[in-house]
Amino acid sequence: MGKSISIAARDGSGSFSGYLAVPASGHGPGVVIGQEIFGVNANMRSIADSYAEEGYVALVPDLFWRLEPNLELGYSEAEFGQAIGLFQRFDVDKGVDDIAAAMDALRALPEVEERGIGYVGFCLGGKLAYLTAARTDAACSVGYYGMGIEQMLDEAQNIKGRLVLHFAEQDVYCDASARAAIGEVLGKLPKAEIYSYPGVDHAFARPNGMHFDKPAALMAHERSIGALKREIGPDFDLSQLWEDHIHHEFAARDVPATMATMVAQPYVNHIPTMTGGVGQDELARFYRNHFVHGNPPDMKLVPISRTVGALQVVDEFVMCFTHTSEIDWMLPGVPPTGKYVEIPMLGVIRFRGDKLCHEHIYWDQASVLVQIGLLDRAGLPVAGVETAKKLLDESLESNTLMTKWKDSKGR
């Protein structure tokens, strides 16, 4: 989805290339993406594309152009050795100058809406995130597993914008003593955020890499986007976007309109029954044949609470319905019982830019089975409609399933 552009060096020594990715909207805040030691390869271009999906005009400058222009390395042992050699010869000061030139290039683009320019770097680019924060006017700099920052902490006093650094607990390139030194100094800055991810190693956020750790990568990405949004945007009304999606699902029952609210490769996972789908085709099939048109006509959602974050909405609600039709996604293979059901539910809805990316939907399946008569609750620590009733009225009795509760009275 991107293209190559030319960037003029600030020192007048020439120009170098950069990979530019623009949001589908055609505009957005500008973010420079700092490369790993492997050059502007497919992974870096993919990262730029993902930031474009988040709503940013993303530019990955070729920081090795002074050594070996247009380098693209993979991750074999030989290529790793070549990358290390380039890293050892790399002029860090020139690299920061070239990042500043890339920021200039973004500011000159008509697609860029400027409330400030952001920076996100990985590995080599993670180290340069710190120096970019100290030496440029970047509004927000984010670094992943940067190396050697503890040796340059005398520049911390120059940082004006927000700085976010992600470290791996098992990273031999930035060990516990280095992280402690960094935290001691940068922790005093009002707009610095320092995170360490337990049990993971260097490059934990590189998809398909040997150290990739999805939970840590997701958490770090959410923090990165949250920091960027606070400083430079973009601003999306996630609550309203979710409301629009719900309307198409439950009120209009319009599958094409529902799918139009989602990214190109969305997924839905109803956790208790593992129903849903991954990708436009499979998810559209699920919605069309097993969800939107199959729900009982009286199904409704009663909202309880909503939390809106940088990337996601967490909804707490009660779902009410009469089991007058087979509900494939909740009770697959169970004929209608005619029973009325109320269940507390929780939805975790993540967005990428202004499009819904995924839904994780949770509920107590045992409570559903009790209410429709398929599960005998006698002797089991499960409840029926009481779970929904108590969510709405906290004064209802607690601990009714605990046989020893009465024994602790007065103790």
Q: Which of 171, 213, 315, 354 is catalytic?
A: 171
Inter-residue contact 55 to 227 (CB < 8 Å): no
Establish whether 175 is a catalytic residue: no
Strands 275-278 and 118-122: unpaired
Establish whether 202 is a catalytic residue: yes
Q: Which of 166, 202, 245, 290 is catalytic?
A: 202
| Residues pairing with 407 in the sheet | none
| Residues pairing with 302 in the sheet | 318
| Residues pairing with 193 in the sheet | 164
- The alpha carbon torsion through 309, 395, 302, 295 (nearest 10 deg) reads 120
**Distances in Å between the alpha carbon of 257 and those of 120, 251, 261?**
34, 12, 7
Which are the catalytic amino acids?
Answer: 171, 202
